[in-house]
Amino acid sequence: MAEKIDTPVRRTRSDGERSRAAILAAASKLATVDGLEGLTIGRLADHIGMSKSGLYAHFGSKEELQLATIASAEEVFDADVVDPAEDAVPGLDRLQTLADRFMVHVESGVFPGGCFFASVLGEFDTRPGRVRDRVAAFMGGWTRRLREQAVEAQARGQIDEGEDIDQLVFEIQSSLLLANTLWVLTESPEVFERARTAISGRIARSRRN
Amino acid sequence: MAEKIDTPVRRTRSDGERSRAAILAAASKLATVDGLEGLTIGRLADHIGMSKSGLYAHFGSKEELQLATIASAEEVFDADVVDPAEDAVPGLDRLQTLADRFMVHVESGVFPGGCFFASVLGEFDTRPGRVRDRVAAFMGGWTRRLREQAVEAQARGQIDEGEDIDQLVFEIQSSLLLANTLWVLTESPEVFERARTAISGRIARSRRN
C-alpha cells in the first residue's frame, strides 16, 4: 500500500505552513505503516527527500515530531469525521453520522494503516510518556463525543430512558474498532457492512427497551 | 508494567527445551511492549542476559526469532483459551467459554501488552511477509473456531436458524477486541464486564429471533 503514502496535502496554506503541513501529512501516513516510534527524523528526511538539518529546524526532536504528527492526524480526523457530523441534528442522527464518517474516513485510505489513532495506540499503550498521554486523550475525547450524542438522544426520547449509555457507546465503538482492524488486514469492504448492521441493530434495540 | 515481563516459563521441559522455551517466553512478553519489529537478537540478548552468539545459535535470524516467538505465544493462547474450552459442551457453551477464557487470558497479564496477536497484528498489518502471514493465519483460525461453535449451536437449536452466524461472530469478536484495547489503556476490569454484557445480550437475542 506504499503508493498511498505520497498523496498530496489537502489544504492550501502559506508557503511556510504548507511546507510544515506537507511534512506532517507524509509523517502521519508513514507512521501508520512503520509505527510512530519508527518515525525518526532521519527516516522521514529520506522519505520526503529533505535534509535532516531542515527537519531538525522544524521539530527539534523526535518527540516533538511525533507530537506534531499526532496533531496533524487529528486535523485530518476532524475534517473527515467531526466537522461533517456538525451538520447533523444533535442526538441520534449525529451519533450515527459520527460512526458513518469514521468508517468513510478509514476506508478512504488517507492513512494506509487505517485509523491513525488505533494504529498508534497499539504501539504506545505500554510506553508511558507524552505521546501515550496525547493518544489516550484523543481516545477519551472521541468516546465523550459519542457519549454526548447518545445522552442527547436519550434526552430527546430517541433512546429509551432505561438504556445504559456507556454500554451502548462501548458496543458502537467495538464495531468501529474491529471494522478498522479487519479492513487493514483484508481490504474487504464487507467489514463496514458488518459494523453498520451491528450499530444500526444495537441502536434499534435501544429504542424499544 | 515491566515487572510482569520476567515471570517464569509455565511448563517443565528438558534442559535444552527449557532454555529455548524460556527465551521465547521472555521474547513474547517483550514483543507486546516493544513490538515484534523491536525484537532484535541484540535487544533480547541484553534483556535476558544471554550472549548474542548464543541467541544466533538458537534462531539464526531476526525473522526466525519472530516466527518462533509467535509460535510460543500461540502455545500460551492454546493453553489459556483453546484447551479449557474443549471441556465445555460443543455449541453455545463452548462459544461462551472461548470468549470468557480470552478475557481471563488478557486480564491475567501474561502478556503486558494484552492479547499478543492483537498487539502484533497492529504492527504488521501493513508489512507484507512471513510474520504478517503467520499472524493473519492465527486470526483466521480464531475466527473459524468461534464460527464453528456458533454453527454447532445453530444445529443444536440453541441459536435461531435465521441468525446470520458471521454477523454474530463479528459482534462477539468486536467486544473482545475493544475490551483488550481498553484494558491495556486503562487497566480497568470494568471493560470486561462491558464485553460480557454485550456478548451475553447478543447471544440472548440470537435465541429469540
Asked if residue B4 has pLDDT above 60, the reply is no
Determine, for residues B114 and A127 on separate chains, whether the beta-carbon distance falls below 8 Å.
Answer: no
> CA A171, CA A197: separation in Å to the nearest integer?
12
pTM: 0.90
Amino acid identity, residue B181?
Answer: T
- pLDDT (tens digit per residue) in A130-145: 999 999 999 999 999 9
Residue A106 has pLDDT above 90, yes or no: yes
Give the list of residues 6+ apart from residue A166 with CB closer than 8 angstroms, or none: A147, B194
Q: What is the ipTM of this complex?
A: 0.89
Contact A122 B166 (CB under 8 A): no
Q: Which amino acid is at B168?
A: L
- Per-residue pLDDT at A15: 52
* Cell numbers describing residue A151: 445522552
Tell me the residue range of the domain where B76 lies: 2-207
Give the C-alpha distances (Å, rounded to integers) separating B183 from B78, B106, B205: 21, 8, 26
Pick among B103, B111, B126 to test the A interface (most A CBs inside 10 A): B126
pLDDT at B183: 96
What is chain B's mean pLDDT, rounded?
90
Please provide the distance, in angstroms rounded to a whole number, between the alpha carbons at the two ends of chain B: 44
Q: How many C-beta atoms surround the C-beta of residue A45 within 10 A?
A: 17
The shortest C-alpha distance from B159 to chain A (Å) reads 17
Contact indicator for A193, A182 with CB cutoff of 8 Å: no
C-alpha cell at A41: 527524523
Q: What CATH number does residue A35 fall under?
A: 1.10.357.10
Which residues, including other chains, have CB under 8 Å from residue B52's CB and lie 6 or more apart? B41, B42, B45
List, for residues B27-61, the tens digit of each pLDDT value. Answer: 999 999 888 988 888 889 888 888 888 888 888 88
Specify the number of domains making up chain A: 1
Q: How many CB pairs under 8 A join A and B?
A: 99
Instruction: Determine the pLDDT at residue B49.
Output: 87
CB-CB neighbors (< 8 A) of A140 in chain B? none
pLDDT at A56 over 90: no
